[in-house]
Amino acid sequence: MSKITFLGAGSTIFAKNVLGDCMMTPSLQNFELALFDIDMQRLKDSDQILSNLKKTLGSTCVIKLYSDRKEALRGAKYVVNAIQVGGYDPCTITDFEVPKKYGLRQTIADTVGIGGIFRNLRTIPVMLDFAADVREVCPDAWFLNYTNPMAVLTNVMNTYGGVRTVGLCHSVQGCVSGLFDLLGMDHGGVQAKIAGINHMAWLLEVTKDGKDLYPEIKRRAAEKQREKHHDMVRLEMMLKFGYYITESSEHNAEYHPYFIKRQYPELIDRFNIPLDEYPRRCVNQIKRWEGLREQLMNSQDLEHVRSEEYASFIFEAMETDQPFKIGGNVMNTGLITNLPKEACVEVPCLVDSSGVNPTYIGDLPPQCAALNRTNINTQLLTIEAAITGKKEHIYHAAMLDPHTAAELSMDDIVTLCDDLIEAHGDWLPKFV
């Protein structure tokens, strides 16, 4: 029996979406769905909910819980990763509250920035442990990484983990429809080309029946910016730099030095930037889960509609050799020619029985590549810190981060990093 292993299966709603999709896919029937998580209660919750769903769908997939990670992975053909190391409490709280003492504010803190750096540093060792298990018990498996920080973790798994890894993010799927809905345009029949890095990929081309839609998009965007709305940062970046970005405005507000600035506090209101957005979401999700858990656990007629998550479509394409196109995070093997070869990039990929096949992009527009490189600098230095164990590279990563460098002096950045290392304690490896 072939096996799909889900690491972090205590992420119950996400596991329901991905594995529910698998249970609806004809070519994946009779697969074992192996569930693993370090939180046994959440794991049992997921098992119960997925079992309820299996009955409703009439699936012949076999659901099995594992308390031993290596056994969960043994013989797997596909692995889905959706872990979060340290969770909301204590690690996310630490990532937000310690920088606040220095006047450094964040919105999401899961990609770059000081929060993204430290999320990477506590997650990379766990991912490398996963990689060692995969190499031992399922060396031919495809590893689908959904965990942020996407670019760094996918890079590490490919470069240092020795595991065939593709990173998957929702932002490419919703980019065009979200933009068109915001501007009151019909996205039916629209063709798009998107490439860059995760959370900062670019809508390079957007056409319908051969007509370039960017002039109309920018005209409407300029009008839209006269009112408050949720996507003001991205529209501003497009109007200034020429291209729309895949990830949300709350994310992009902290990827650049232009928006969250103590010396210009009026920018927060002007661009409608939700500071501390991720902790707020965490609190709300915890409250919602308390009620939703009982509903899902006790439902004997649980329903599911196949989601837009890439995972089941990737598995289906590999099993049936019917090609499927995704936006995937892969190593830059000459795909984007004006970004570093050491970087992980996000490009269109064709999936079939031969695997994940990324497409060649060539040069990005120079201003887009330049903005990408500002984030890649921090990503690569974060990897250097994690692999070498040298504290100085944590400092380098933070000093090269656009938002952090725009707000703090070099001395304050070093002290902040030291404070965060101390505050995270055993959640981090030891650095010298």
Residue-by-residue pLDDT tens, the chain, 432 positions = 899 999 999 999 999 999 999 999 999 999 999 999 999 999 999 999 999 999 999 999 999 999 999 999 999 999 999 999 999 999 999 999 999 999 999 999 999 999 999 999 999 999 999 999 999 999 999 999 999 999 999 999 999 999 999 999 999 999 999 999 999 999 999 999 999 999 999 999 999 999 999 999 999 999 999 999 999 999 999 999 999 999 999 999 999 999 999 999 999 999 999 999 999 999 999 999 988 998 899 888 899 999 999 999 999 999 999 999 999 999 999 999 999 999 999 999 999 999 999 999 999 999 999 999 999 999 999 999 999 999 999 999 999 999 999 999 999 999 999 999 999 999 999 999
Q: Identity (one letter) of the amino acid at 207?
A: T
Topology classification of domain 3-87+109-167: Rossmann fold (3.40.50)
Please give the C-alpha separations between residue 399 and each of 59, 111, 375, 406, 408, in angstroms, as whole numbers.
52, 15, 12, 9, 9
Token pair 């076999």 in the structure block, residue: 62
Which residues sit in the known binding site for Mn(2+)?
A: 169, 199
For residue 1, the model assigns a pLDDT of 83
For residue 308, the model assigns a pLDDT of 93
Handedness of CA 38, 39, 44, 50 (dihedral sign): negative
Tokens of 354: 């031969």
Which residues sit in the known binding site?
A: 148, 169, 199
What does the domain layout of the chain look like in residue ranges? Answer: 3-87+109-167, 315-358, 373-427
Look up 170 and say whether it is catalytic: yes
For residue 430, the model assigns a pLDDT of 98
Asked whether the beta carbons of 163 and 219 are under 8 A apart, the reply is: no
3-state secondary structure of 399: helix
Task: Compute the C-alpha angle 168/171/173, nearest 5°.
Answer: 85
The residue from 170, 187, 251, 396 that is catalytic is 170
3-state secondary structure of 410: helix
CA 356 to chain CA centroid, nearest Å? 18
For residue 298, the model assigns a pLDDT of 87
Which residues sit in the known binding site for substrate?
A: 148
Q: Identity (one letter) of the amino acid at 83?
A: I
For residue 108, the model assigns a pLDDT of 98
Alpha helices (H) in 245-323, listed in sequence order: 249-252, 266-270, 277-298, 310-320
Q: Which residues pair with 330 in a beta bridge?
A: 345
Q: Which phi and psi angles does 82 have, rounded to 5°? A: -145, 45
Q: Identity (one letter) of the amino acid at 425?
A: G
